Structure 1
Amino acid sequence: MSSKKIERLGDDRTGAGGQPLPFAPAVRAGDFVFISGQVAMKENGEIEAGGIESQTRKTMENLINALALADCTLDDIAKVGVWLDDPRDFWTFNRIYASYFPNGGPARSTVRSQIMVDAKVEIDAVVYKPLDQS
């Protein structure tokens, strides 16, 4: 960890068409890690095709990758925020999301919202993982 109190983690990311994204995928602030909202964006910056099932899986994969930037896992998450584009997707989303947390998930809020990109779901997270693990 650098001597900074806030450390931005992850390389420069780009969205569709190579447009730079003006935010870090993860930020460590002391014992907390904040994961930026993850959507079903593929490596090429395009959104995963398909419905809520494939987009939820890709979003969770992206969340796991962002957590890894701070040496964290799903088990370290204290709270997530979920935005769904369509409330009719809630039960399908919930079933897939729950499969990633077989022992129960973190605290969570879920709301309906029009998402800024053509995605069906967005998830952010707050992680608690002390720097001093002794």
Structure 2
Amino acid sequence: MNFIFTEKAPAPGGHYSQAVQAGGFTFVSGMLPGPGVALDGPDNFARQVRATLDHCQRVLEEAGCRLTDVVQCTAYIVGVNNWPEFNRLYAERFGAHKPARAVVPVPELHHGFLVELQMVAYRDALLRAE
């Protein structure tokens, strides 16, 4: 088991790792937009989604993975009305790659954020290296 940490993404706010690798899988913990992302404004939701995807991507890179290695994503979004915008931004970042996904509308998230993402990636090379 390998515990992943990068200073290029927000540090965990509790007793957990940014990601953990085991058996060829990389499990990215729930990531929020993090400090420095405005909580208001007309494009607030879009900024938060992009920032959160950036953080996930940096953690995956630290683990030797890419977004194209993601096999599953769980997205928690505040307000079901944000679903179409989330889907657009997600598709923009993932392109033709379509991991299994769940989008869970929730009433609120920690620190007033509007999105939290959790991902699982798989790399055959990681399995061979163990």
After TM superposition, the score normalised by the length of structure 1 is 0.81
- 2:10 corresponds to 1:10: no
Cα deviation, residue 23, structure 1: 1.4
CA distance in 2, matches of 1:30, 1:104: 22
Counterpart position of 1:48? 37
> 1:123 aligns to what SS in structure 2?
strand
Candidates 92, 97, 103, aligned match of 1:104: 97
- 2:118 corresponds to 1:124: yes
Any idea what the Cα deviations from partners look like across 1:44-95, whole Å, max 9, x if unmatched? xx25114111001101100101101211010000000000011111111111
Any idea what the Cα deviations from partners look like across 1:1-38, whole Å, max 9, x if unmatched? xxxxx2111158647xxxx5321111001211100011
CA distance in 2, matches of 1:94, 1:11: 27
Candidates 87, 90, 102, aligned match of 1:94: 87
CA distance in 2, matches of 1:107, 1:117: 27
Identity %, equivalent residues: 27
Candidates 69, 79, 87, aligned match of 2:72: 79
Between 54-63 and 113-122, report the one with greater CA deviation: 113-122
CA distance in 1, matches of 2:92, 2:68: 13
Q: Write the letter of the residue equivalent to 1:53.
A: A
Q: 1:14 to 1:78 in 2, by over 3 A?
A: closer
> 2:94 aligns to what SS in structure 1?
coil
Q: Write the letter of the residue equivalent to 2:37.
A: E
Relative CO higher for 1 or 2, CA cutoff 8 Å, sep ≥ 6?
Answer: 2
Cα deviation, residue 107, structure 1: 0.7
CA RMSD in angstroms comes to 1.9
1 or 2, which has the higher helix percentage?
2
